[in-house]
Amino acid sequence: MGEVKITKNSSCKIVAVRYRFIFENIGGGEPQLQFLPHPVVVQKVDVPKKEEENKEPKEEELLSENVEYEDDVEYLRSLDPKEWKNQDHYKVLGIGSLRFKATEDIIKTAYRKKVLKHHPDKRKALGEEVKADDDYFTCITMAYETLGNVNRRRAYDSVDPEFDNNLPSSSDLKRDFYEVFSYYFNLNSRWSEKSRVPKIGNSNSSREEVEHFYSFWYDFKSWREYSYEDEEDKDKCQDREERRYVDKLNKAERLRKKKEEMSRIRQLVDLAYNNDPRIAKFKQDDKEKKLAAKRAKQSAAQAKKEEEERLLKEMQLAKEQAEAAEKARIEAKRQEREAQKKAIKKERKTLRDICKSNNYYADSNEQNLAHMTAVEAICERLSLIELEELNRNIKNIGKSAFLKALKENEVREEQERLAVLDAAKQKNNTIENKTAAVVKMTPEWNENNIQLLVKAVNLFP
C-alpha cells in the first residue's frame, strides 16, 4: 500500500484512520506504528504557533485536563460483539464517570487510548491470541462510532441506562424541598432544547422568578428521542415496502415513549408545584388578598346598604314631617274655616238681632217682611269683614246705614241676574250658530235628486 507520511507540529493534532480509530502523536522523532497494515512515519515540521490570549480556562478545558481514563479489561473481555448495542459505550471507552459531560476531545482521546492498547494487531504483537470474528475490539469501535457521531450519541444519551428516570419518593418529599427538587430538575434539564434553563431558586426567590420557572417546565421542550431502542432495523429489510412498514412501527413506538417521557416530566413539575412552599405562600397571599377584597366589597356593600337605609329613613322622616305639616295646615285651615263660620254666624246673628230689635227699620208690616227677606239675603251674600263693617255702621249710624246696605244688596242682585241672563244668551247664540253651520253645509235638492227619491218610493212603497 506504500508509505503514508504525516507531518505535524507539537501543538497540532494529526489523525490517522484505520478501523475507525484516532491517534495523536506529541513530540519529535519518527515513531513507527507497527500495528497498522501499512507504515506510518511521523515527521516534525515547524509551524508557527498562534499566540493564545490570556483567558481563563473553560470548564470543558478543565474537565479535559482532569480526566481519569479507566481501563476495565475484565469488562471489555466480557463483551459480546453481537450484543454491542446493549453495552455501556461510555464504560467501554473508559469514561463511564463522565458520560454525557464528556466532550468530543475527551471521547477521541479515550478511543485513541483504547486503540493503542487493545487493537488486535497491538495485542498480537504482544503474543496474545486474538479471534478476528469474535474480538471485543469491535465493541470499542462500535462505542466510538456511537459516541463520536452527534446524532448517534444523542440517541444513546436519550436512553442512557445510568440516567435516573425516577421521581421523588414520599420520603424525599419530607426532606428539604429545594435540595430534593433542585437535583431532579438539574438532572432533567439536560434534555432541554433551550440552553438557558431557569433554576428552581430558593425561599427568597421572587414570585416572578418562581412563576417563570414553572412556566418554563410546564412548557418544557425536550430533545430526548428513542430511536436507539428501535427493535426493528430497517436497514436489514429486503425491499422498500418492508422498510416503510418497519419505519412506521419504529416511529409509533418512539412516539409512545416520547409521550411517556413528557408525562414523566409533567408529573415531576406537578409534584414540585404541589409541594413548593413558595407556591403555597403565594396561594395563601392570593387567598388573603381575595378575602380582603371580598371583605372590602362586603364592607362597601354594607356601607352602601346603611347609607341607603339612612337616606330611606331620612326620606321617610321628611315624608312624615311633610304629611304632619300638611295635616297641621289642613287642620289649621279647618279650624280657620270653623272660626270664620262661627264668626260669620255670630255676625249674622248680630245683624239679625239688631234689625229685629229695631223692627227691621220698617214702617209697615209689608216693609218689615221685605226688610227681613233682604236681611237674610245680605247674611248669605256678605263676607265676614263686610258683615262686621255693616254691623258697626248700623250700630253707629242706624237706619240710614241699614237702608244703604239694602240698596247695595238690590244692586248686587240685579247685577247677578243680568250676568246670568247674558251667559244664557251667549250659550243660545253658540247653539244657533252651530245649527246654522250644519244647515249651511247641507246641499240643496235639485231636480235629479227629486226624481231619484220618487223612483225609490215607487220601488219601496
Residue 442: the pLDDT is 60
How far apart (Å, rounded) are the C-alpha atoms in residues 113 and 14? 15
Higher pLDDT, 459 or 58: 459
Residue 16: the pLDDT is 36
How far apart (Å, rounded) are the C-alpha atoms in residues 25 and 95? 21
Query: If you average pLDDT over each of 28-37, 187-196, 233-242, which comes out highest?
Result: 187-196
How far apart (Å, rounded) are the C-alpha atoms in residues 156 and 148? 11
pLDDT of 2 strictly over 50: no
8 A C-beta contact, residue 194 and residue 221: yes
Residue 436: the pLDDT is 64
Q: What is the mean pLDDT of the chain?
A: 83
Place of cell 421523588: 168
pLDDT of 53 strictly over 80: no
Higher pLDDT, 125 or 450: 125
Grid coordinates in use for 5? 507520511
Instruction: For the beta carbon of residue 355, count every other beta carbon within 10 angstroms.
Output: 22
8 A C-beta contact, residue 60 and residue 114: no
Taking alpha carbons only, the member of 174, 181, 222, 172 closest to residue 201 is 181
Q: How confident is the model at residue 14 (pLDDT cuts 50, 70, 90)?
A: very low
Residue 159: the pLDDT is 95
pLDDT of 13 strictly over 80: no
pLDDT of 43 strictly over 70: no
8 A C-beta contact, residue 15 and residue 22: yes
- Quote the strand ranges of 320-403, DSSP E: none
Residue 141: the pLDDT is 96
How far apart (Å, rounded) are the C-alpha atoms in residues 287 and 97? 48
How far apart (Å, rounded) are the C-alpha atoms in residues 143 and 107? 10
Residue 415: the pLDDT is 87
Domains of the chain: which residue ranges? 4-46+58-158, 170-275, 318-435
pTM above 0.95, yes or no: no
pLDDT of 137 strictly over 80: yes
Residue 461: the pLDDT is 64
Residue 276: the pLDDT is 97
Residue 451: the pLDDT is 75
pLDDT of 413 strictly over 70: yes
Tell me: the pLDDT tens digits for 59-113? Answer: 555 566 688 999 999 999 999 999 999 999 999 999 999 999 999 999 999 999 9
pLDDT of 33 strictly over 50: no
User: pLDDT > 90: what percent of the chain?
Assistant: 51
Q: How much is the average pLDDT of 282-293?
A: 95
pLDDT of 5 strictly over 50: no
Q: Residue 194: which residues within 8 A CB-CB, separation 6 or more?
A: 216, 221
Q: How confident is the model at residue 28 (pLDDT cuts 50, 70, 90)?
A: very low
Higher pLDDT, 49 or 318: 318
How far apart (Å, rounded) are the C-alpha atoms in residues 234 and 238? 9
Tell me: the pLDDT tens digits for 160-176? Answer: 999 999 999 999 999 99
User: pLDDT > 70: what percent of the chain?
Assistant: 82
Q: Among the listed ranges 136-145, 247-256, 345-354, which one has the minimum average pLDDT value?
A: 345-354
Tell me: the pLDDT tens digits for 213-255? Answer: 999 999 999 999 999 998 777 767 778 888 888 889 999 999 9
Residue 402: the pLDDT is 84
Q: How much is the average pLDDT of 294-315?
A: 94
Residue 63: the pLDDT is 61
Residue 198: the pLDDT is 96
Residue 443: the pLDDT is 65
